[in-house]
Structure 1
Amino acid sequence: MTDRAETLLAHAPVFQGARAADLRPLAALAAFRSLTRGEHLFREGEALDTLYLVSSGSVRVYRLARGGTRELTLHVEGPRQLVAGVAAFQSRAVAPASAVVLQTPTEVLGLPAGAVRERVFGTPALAQAVIAYFARRQAELLTRVEGLVFSELGERLAAYLLDHARQPHALPTNSELAALLGTVPELVSRKLGEFYRLNLIHLERRTVRVTDPAELARLARGHREEGRAGERSRPPSGT
């Protein structure tokens, strides 16, 4: 079990470049946990004393809108990714969002957050790896926010399909996909149907396969290119 935990830690981007000797003490404290679809690792506002690393499957991290009627998916974490890792590096950490399992089976590796903090803060190589990882994740989150604000649903869905469905892939439910893309299930269903009729994807039940990646790529970047063209053609203010 310790060897498997050490292997997972060594391949996790958060510890990229760290020495095996630095990871071994953490692996000795780790424990694997199996979960099924719909189970929560934690909910927003709960004390967070465990650092979770996905071993297999996927976990969706989301926040509830005011009134609890809508969800905003912040990101989906797959194998070797941390779940709400930043919060776990704070003393007396509180979960800033909720984390729910997307598929069965999903397995996560849990590490005591306090022990991880102590080890990372006292080991320069680990600290450097963790800081670099969180810098990359911040850039990814900013890109996601920009996409939600400035892009159309077709662009966001095309980008999602290209990122996740290069091989036959089980789609989340329309509700989960809508939360991930910042829209409502009805529009997701309509847009998936449109992509299917245009032969951009093959869809059987919830299994999707991309059949025209070039056109999906054009759709995914088209809105941004149009926006840039508009900026270039716009006359300077005051003229």
Structure 2
Amino acid sequence: MDRAETLLTHAPVFQGAQAEDLRPLAALASFRVLKRGEHLFREGEALDTVFLVSSGSVRVYRLARGGTRELTLHVEGPRQLVAGVAAFQSRAVAPASAVALQTPTEVLCLPAGTVRERVFGTPALAQAVIASFARRQAELLTRMEGLVFSELGERLAAYLLENARQPHALPTNSELAALLGTVPELVSRKLGEFYRLNLIHLERRTVCVTDPAELARLAQGERE
């Protein structure tokens, strides 16, 4: 089994599909390597390719009016589709921008038209894709709910618990702000507050959680 077929077989979007259904897609695949900060596509561009992350991670975001702030919709890691729903539409246009978060980030590229034909004509593939899109929709709704109804301290505490139980290189404050739906200045202030409260150890951009119980309490929105 070649690398493209292996990646497709283990991708959640095709979970449950048979290898013989994926083999024709793997034969058409190519790989693209991105550097940190390099765009895979930008909002409004024609989208004629299905992208599946092989390694690294891709941040999908939209610009606020005026282009002064970014809102991160989700971050896709290995075996995840990038803007997959849009790619399954004919004459698709990218609903958001996608940029690599790491160097290197590698993505598998498939012609969208061929993918649509195979999925629409193969019941097992169609069932797998629909189930995957339903899961992603639920995840996006949960994220939007968190951005709207929780405070920054809750969102940052949850992020740190998920990503920094071991020493972890933080994104820049601008990238963190985009992930958390705020501005860099407030992220910097809140990180400093967590540091002074001994909830985290922070040296340069390396952070590690030192009081997970208290961070968990904050992430749940609990107050003294």
Q: TM-score, normalised by structure 1?
A: 0.88
Equivalent residues of 2:56, 2:78 under 8 A apart: yes
Counterparts of 2:166 and 2:88 in 1: how far apart (Å)?
Answer: 35
Equivalent residues of 2:154, 2:221 under 8 A apart: no
Equivalent residues of 2:150, 2:221 under 8 A apart: no
Map 1:120-131 → 2, pairs under 5 A: 120-131=119-130
The 1:15/1:167 distance shift into structure 2, 3 A limit, reads farther
Q: What's the CA shift for 1:202? A: 2.1
Deviations 1:139-186 (A, max 9, x none): 111111111111000100111112222333222110011011011101
Counterparts of 1:168 and 1:13 in 2: how far apart (Å)?
Answer: 28
List runs of 5+ in structure 1 lacking aligned partners.
Answer: 221-228, 232-239
Counterparts of 2:132 and 2:42 in 1: how far apart (Å)?
Answer: 24
Counterparts of 1:86 and 1:120 in 2: how far apart (Å)?
Answer: 13
Alignment partner of 1:45: what SS?
coil
Alignment partner of 2:20: what SS?
helix
The 1:12/1:188 distance shift into structure 2, 3 A limit, reads same
The 1:106/1:211 distance shift into structure 2, 3 A limit, reads same
Counterparts of 1:167 and 1:56 in 2: how far apart (Å)?
Answer: 20
Alignment partner of 1:44: what SS?
coil
Structure 1 stretches (4+) deviating beyond 6 angstroms?
none
Q: What's the CA shift for 1:129? A: 0.7
Counterparts of 2:18 and 2:210 in 1: how far apart (Å)?
Answer: 42
Counterparts of 1:207 and 1:96 in 2: how far apart (Å)?
Answer: 33
Q: What's the CA shift for 1:105? A: 1.1
Q: What's the CA shift for 1:18? A: 1.2
Alignment partner of 2:129: what SS?
helix
Structure 1 vs Structure 2: percent identity of aligned residues?
92
Alignment partner of 1:61: what SS?
strand
Q: What's the CA shift for 1:80? A: 1.1
The 1:93/1:219 distance shift into structure 2, 3 A limit, reads same
Counterparts of 1:204 and 1:159 in 2: how far apart (Å)?
Answer: 20
Counterparts of 2:100 and 2:167 in 1: how far apart (Å)?
Answer: 20
List runs of 5+ in structure 2 lacking aligned partners.
Answer: none
Alignment partner of 2:90: what SS?
coil
Greater Cα offset, 167-176 or 119-128:
167-176
Counterparts of 2:211 and 2:85 in 1: how far apart (Å)?
Answer: 37
Deviations 1:41-78 (A, max 9, x none): 00000000011111111111111111111111111111
Equivalent residues of 2:198, 2:211 under 8 A apart: yes
Deviations 1:101-136 (A, max 9, x none): 111111111111111111111111111111011101
Q: What's the CA shift for 1:230? A: 12
Greater CA radius of gyration, 1 or 2?
1
* Count of equivalent residues: 221
Alignment partner of 1:230: what SS?
coil
Greater Cα offset, 197-206 or 130-139:
197-206
Greater Cα offset, 82-91 or 25-34:
25-34
